[in-house]
A and B are shown apart, each in its own frame.
Chain A
Amino acid sequence: MDKNVRNRYTVGVLVSNEPGVLSRVSGLFSRRGFNIESLAVGPTQDQTISRITIVVLGNDSSIEQLVQQLYKLICVRKVRVYDPANTVERQLVMIKVAANASDREGLMRLVEIFKAKVVDVTRESLTLTITGDVEKVSAMVELMQDFGITEIVRTGTVALQRGNQIMNSEIFDL
């Protein structure tokens, strides 16, 4: 396999909810030479478990190695590399755009097309939120640049498998 091939993988990790977990997991990525494109972490319905979603570049064999290394961390309960065809991925971005009255109409048209939301308006600016997969969010951000982005904040990608498939720390992957 060509070691230089780099694809984007989205990896879900269920971890024990305890201090230091995030640095154990992110430390493993940097130490093994993986670049994290995005990372999102939050609690789950089970208070003892947190869920980390990481987007990372690699190839099939490097990702296999990454998964096995993750499983060696005592705090890691379950790891899954999502199949893009069977996964819903979302990012949230908040954008503050310089927008006076004359810009506003054009902006609002884009807001409608992208199903974005206006969360704050002043005479000189407009703050929007948009959710979607990486491509949609990036396309919106690019168009906003024409108006002048004064501030932007983006969450990491989060993902869930479609249908009835779930990630459960109590079920073995054998």
Chain B
Amino acid sequence: MKLCGAAILIECLIEQGTETIFGFPGGAVLPIYDELYKRSDRIGHVLTAHEQHAGHAADGYARVTGKTGVCLATSGPGATNLVTAIATAYMDSTPVVFITGNVPQSLMGTDSFQEADISGITMPITKHNYMVTDVRKLADTIREAFFIAANGRPGPVLVDIPKDVQIAETEYVPATGDALIPALSASHPMMQLRPVGAALERYKLRVEPYVAQAAELVEKAERPLIYFGGGVILSGAERELAELASRIDAPAVSSLMGLGALSEESARMLGMLGMHGTHAANIAMQRCDLLIAVGVRFSDRALGNADTFAPNAKVLHIDIDRAEINKNVTTTLHITGDAKTVLDLLLPRLEKKEHPIWMRQAQSMAEEYLSNDLFEPRKILKAMSELAPAITVATDVGQHQMWTAQHFPFIRPRQLVTSGGLGTMGFGLGAAMGAARALGEPVVLVTGDGSFRMNLTELSTIAYYQFPVIVVVFNNGTLGMVRQWQTLFFGKRYSQTTLDRGPDFMKLADAYGIRGARVSNEQDFRRVFAEALELKVPYLIECMLDIDEMVAPMVAPGSPIDSFCLN
């Protein structure tokens, strides 16, 4: 059947099972939007207020479902507005396909209206990108883009489609099942992203000796510690992780991106590691004699000082990305591969072990909180988790994000949606609406007054679509995390961090036609939050907090991970 490029694109998205596109129209994607209009029975679209948040929404959608998110924007400014969203997805390994229109090829390179070299711009922040110059290659390019985004270590892929390619016609041959997988030789790097069948068997044979060595390391360890990250969630290896922890009787710590992969209700879970990690996690790291790192990349925020990190430990590193091995921490032994595949090979080789003394030591280092009457972030998060323990929580970036990581006990994978690697203020509301669209149930966004200013324009989107996003703004009238650093490291010179200005968030909620409540005690918060959960509508809850509230514990950047500068 002969179709134009724009129609082929839509058919290819339907082939991939795409239910929703997050996007914003413009001149260079008019043919695509026209086809979308005709195919609205098969594929939905969420119109955001700004392309960046469409990108974050596609990212949030992917994070909560594990499916590949799709985002669509026009050329030039539409495309450049995606840059932050693409970099965010790249740093956190989220599968998102970004589609941009571009000016017709006849105008390309002439600085024509709304022209930008988006494939050049996004080269360093995409897993791969394409500019389609021939409509006959379009369908296979889209299929490759989805394959690359989702396989191996996931990541964003951008496909730039000039307008003339959208209009040109060619024969479209529908594909399903195996035909969706690029037809390339087994040696092609793209195919090595997903070893299946014979290739998988070859892989298993190849790593077997290393798995045996790993089992030996575990056997000899007296104080093993598991350090897990987002790779476990991406791989769906949470059951294997729990089995590993219980089989070898080891405590476990998490990176920010790993939270929820092992339930925080587990006695073995010591909490998050790193700059704002728990005492128990950070101290256990310095005392363990074997570190079993699964699906982590040893980020500087988790390591503190790389040279003094886990000084007594041998390091066994399991990661799908070979480039993460020996990048920040030198390993004793590594196994490159998908976390679930590798753990499935390792577990049968492990004897049941018991480390009662080590477990007791590790658990005994947990901090205790003093009770008081103040309205504190910790109490809000505790109340939230009591009222909705399994709710999906999105965050922005800053103090509220770290408080959420510390005080909301995550009990399942994909429960926390946060910008860990890039640390993108303004990520949250878009991500939350993508999550709400995917799940069809309430999602809470914990944000700060600083971050919220960066995305509050999207209140119009959650209002229009009635996404059940409960926006909880921690309003302390400052860019709190920066203020905290100014307090600690810059002599309390609060340069450009005080937000002593509007808007009035309650009036804002009113203007967008959504419910709002301002609370300054725990009791009121509980009442309003319960109401929001019940109503399943957009809701804005503003929590009035003290400007000098700090995130503790804290380790100064570059310091050993157990030397806390704030308790």
Contact = CB atoms under 8 A, between A and B. Distances in A.
A91 B391 CA distance: 63
Interface residues on chain A, size class: 20 to 34
A65 B327 CA distance: 7
A23 B123 contact: yes
A27 B123 contact: yes
B253 to A, nearest CB: 25
Contact of A61 (B131, B321, B326): B326
B124 interface: yes
Contacts of B322: 68, 71
A76 B120 contact: no
Contacts of A96: none
Contact of B189 (A19, A65, A74, A170): A74
B123 A77 contact: no
B185 interface: yes
Q: Which of A74, A76, A170, A171 has the most CB of B within 10 A?
A: A74
A77 to B, nearest CB: 6
B323 to A, nearest CB: 4
Interface residues of B, number: 21
A76 B327 CA distance: 20
A24 B128 CA distance: 10
Contacts, number: 46
A169 B190 contact: no
A27 B124 contact: yes
Nearest to A68: B323
Nearest to A24: B123
Contacts of A170: 185, 187
A77 B189 contact: yes
Given A24-B123, A27-B123, A31-B124, A76 B189 contact: yes
B326 A169 contact: no
A69 interface: yes
Contact of B190 (A31, A65, A74): A74
Interface of B: 119-120, 123-124, 127-128, 131, 148, 185, 187-190, 206, 321-323, 325-327, 330
20 contacts: A19-B131, A20-B123, A20-B131, A61-B330, A64-B326, A65-B323, A65-B326, A65-B327, A68-B323, A68-B325, A69-B323, A71-B189, A72-B127, A74-B127, A74-B148, A76-B189, A77-B187, A77-B188, A169-B187, A172-B187
Interface of A: 19-20, 23-24, 27-28, 31, 61, 64-65, 68-69, 71-77, 169-172, 174
